[in-house]
Amino acid sequence: MFNTLQSFKHGKFHSLPALAKQLNLKLERLPVSIRIVLESVLRNCDGKKVTEEHVRQLAGWQPNAKRTEEIPFVLARILLQDFTGVPLLCDLAAMRGVAARMGRDPKVVEPLVPVDLVVDHSVQIDHFGTKNALDLNMKLEFKRNEERYQFMKWGMQAFDTFKVVPPGIGICHQVNLEYLAPGVHKSREGICYPDTLVGTDSHTTMINGIGVVGWGVGGIEAEAGMLGQPVYFLTPDVVGVNLKGKLHPACTATDLVLTVTEMLRKAKVVGKFVEYFGEGTESLSVTDRATIANMAPEYGATMGYFPVDARTLEYFRGTGRAADKIDALEAYFKAQGMFGIPKKGQIDYSQVLELDLATIYPSIAGPKRPQDRIDLDKVKPTFEKLFSAPVKENGFGKKSEDLQKVTKAFDGTEIKNGDVLIAAITSCTNTSNPGVLLAAGLVAKKAVELGLKVNPRVKTSLAPGSRVVTEYLGKAGLLPYLEKLGFSVAAYGCTTCIGNAGPLPQAIDEAVAKNDLVCAAVLSGNRNFEARIHPNIRANFLASPPLVVVYALAGSMLLDLRNQPIGKSKDGKDVFIGHIWPTADEVKALMKFAMDAPTFQRMYSDLANSSVLWKKIPAPAGEVYSWPNSTYIAEPPFFKDFAMAPGAVGGINGAKVLGIFGDSVTTDHISPAGSIKPTSPAGIYLQEHDVAVADFNSFGARRGNHEVMM
């Protein structure tokens, strides 16, 4: 074994520089992300699950080599969201039951690393545009999901290492960034090690923005990690992205991430680590970095990693982390030689790509895929072209002469192709970033002061990923202006980004469906697959929060924002986008309200008592779950005939291919999360069990019952 345990002022650590000397290797040339994985392999080397050979193989990582070896990666913690986390809790509960039936202590089944489940996927936008929308939506959420929340509360009292962040706090990735991530862990033996994790959600990669190695996995892998097993993955290539220059003041982090997504999709980074370096990377705020890291699944990478540097420490201070934790983070990464953004030529990458930040242009992405970026001044002609283009060319296959056709709903509302019907400031991708949220508020302020209004057919909503957002928008004096345009806080959760947009007004919904209109949703999210946002909205565009407000005002994708006015001011003058777009200095002047440590500490100080509705949910007691009759939570059948000795595995004969799939297979295709049709097998099952169609909820909410999902 290796003699690498050394001391520093916060305890002990397994030194990578010491390992480099023992192996006579230049480990400082390895990508930082690989070194963090190497530290885990070194620290957990027990000669069984993790061997000396595993350490040597990874320490000898070569930029361009045949990838055949798997890495056993032992994690520091696990992150769950409620849709994908509840089935894992069902498995743990079932294992407890097996232990009890076999006369064993049920407590032998216990997660060996900390597990945090954040409830963020359940809330829907049923109510919007009013100050009481948040209260009404939360009451509906608790009514629909009471059985699930009771089960989670049982888990909290049954397992020592299982914690729940209640509904109404925020989105798991933003809560992870702002609160859960400790920077550096310390074991009972006083050994310090870097934060690492996997999560049961694709966008777990957002945490890469603060130098944490982590990504999204399936439930089985997360469950293995919970129970102390390594997560195995093929040794990856690491693509280095050299960001140069600085963003133009009129551009946002959203414009940047959409460009990065487009570029890296073309570079084919699927299954690879991406690591950012260079002076452009150094210039980005941590929240800008987190936005780019968040969309790693969209550009296909396993991770989009940003090393720890002075800006990381600044973010930890701004979000109210304890001084000793920040000091430990800095000291640890400096002791390991991993502090700071690498400069060009310092690291050996499998491939190096470059992007000049000065070339970034305001843009949106869509209408069906995140990588299909469109320059803002080309949105109108692109929509016109795609309207009549064949479906196989990403179009809608409609007749070009129908583009301007006016349809009247039964209530008299006029609707056309290209009309914006949903405008949502949503998703951890952007609501974690004060720069773009303050910009959206400033756009709203200028628009209201000029007398602009949102067309009543547009369903507007503001669903921040954390309650801190509402605090700083209020302190900056911008929230009232957003509310006047209909962007009242409707929820703290994923909402529109995951398809929980809620219903459109019946008259509009019927007119769109009956006439097969191609209408649009504009959202500050990360995914825009057709019908994901709403079953009847076919064109979905990803945009920065300020552009979401602009398109809500414009009301149509067929407006040339460069040359056409958004609307008329109260004195009858044309208002163009330049009249309401904020300057960088205006945003910067308000940033002091956003990074306020006492606010973060107050918002995250007493989560268990943060919601009256959550406190009212009864918590079942006991170490073993009783499995009351429920169509939400059911005991998994996998452990029915469990024995301590495995049974014989029979031969496989006459196996057939079940399916051959093309490109762009998404998590939505693999496991549905949206609405349940009454005529589907799941819908029939629920009706047979006396569940009214109005109470179906969603596939995601019912993942704790295998019968519904099968």
- Tens-digit pLDDT profile for residues 354-364: 999 999 999 99
CB count, 10 Å around CB of 688?
Answer: 9
**Predicted TM-score (pTM) of this structure:** 0.96
* Portion of the chain with pLDDT greater than 90, in percent: 91
The full 3-state SS of 206-254, as one line of letters, equals HHHHHCCEEEECCHHHHHHHHCCCCEEEECCCEEEEEEECCCCCCCCHH
Integer Cα distance of 662 and 520 in angstroms: 26
Query: Mind listing the pLDDT tens digit for each residue in 170-218?
Result: 999 999 999 999 999 999 999 999 999 999 999 999 999 999 999 999 9
Residue 666, token pair as written in the block? 């998404």
Strands 115-118 and 162-165, bridge-based pairing: parallel
Over range 525-552, report the average pLDDT: 93
Go through the domains of the chain in sequence order and give each one's CATH number. 5-73 (no CATH), 75-234+611-651 (3.30.499.10), 236-306+341-360 (3.40.1060.10), 363-594 (3.30.499.10)
- Label residue 490 exposed, middle or buried (CB < 10 Å: 0-12, 13-18, 19+): buried
CA atoms lying within 13 Å on the CB side of residue 532: 26
How do residues 369-416 score in pLDDT, each as one tens digit? 999 999 999 999 999 999 999 999 999 999 999 999 999 999 999 999
Question: Is the separation of the CB atoms in 301 and 260 below 8 Å?
Answer: no
pLDDT in tens, 414-449: 999 999 999 999 999 999 999 999 999 999 999 999
Half-sphere exposure of 157 (CA within 13 A, CB side): 14
User: For the chain, what is the mean pLDDT?
Assistant: 95
Crossing angle of the two packed helices 82-101 and 133-158, in degrees rounded to 10: 30
Q: Supply the pLDDT for residue 662.
A: 82
Q: Which two tokens stand for residue 305?
A: 């990693």
Q: What is the pLDDT of residue 531?
A: 76
pLDDT tens digits, residue range 479-517? 999 999 999 999 999 999 988 899 999 999 999 999 999
pLDDT at res. 195: 98
Cβ–Cβ under 8 Å, residues 521 and 540: yes
Residues 6 or more apart whose CB falls under 8 angstroms from that of 245 comprise 279, 280, 356, 357, 358, 359
pLDDT (mean) for 63-78: 96
3-state secondary structure of 460: strand
Dump strand ranges (E) for 30-114. 70-73, 77-81
pLDDT tens-place string over residues 111-164: 999 999 999 999 999 999 999 999 999 999 999 999 999 999 999 999 999 999
